Amino acid sequence: EHLRMDLDRIQESIITVTEMNTSIASAVQEQHSVVEEINRNIHNISEVSNLTAQDARESTQAAMELGENAQALMVLIKQVTS
């Protein structure tokens, strides 16, 4: 009888450990999914940041060219009106 009770407790412990392992595996999977989503978001933010930086460089270049064109136009206007 004592042996039977010990075996029952062992079986219950095995069931408990199995349930805990299942819960842990589920939590790990959820964390993995969250980490993947965070990585995707960081990658997207990086791409958008790079595009924004490129757009800023292009805007700066366009503004400089516009300024140069405005100065050239001013010179031409002075020549015509002088």
pLDDT tens digits for 27-57?
A: 999 999 999 999 999 999 999 999 999 999 9
Q: How far is CA 9 from the centre of its chain?
A: 48
pTM confidence score: 0.64
Residue 70 tokens read as: 């405005």
pLDDT (tens digit per residue) in 63-73: 999 999 999 99
pLDDT band per the 50, 70, 90 thresholds, residue 82: confident
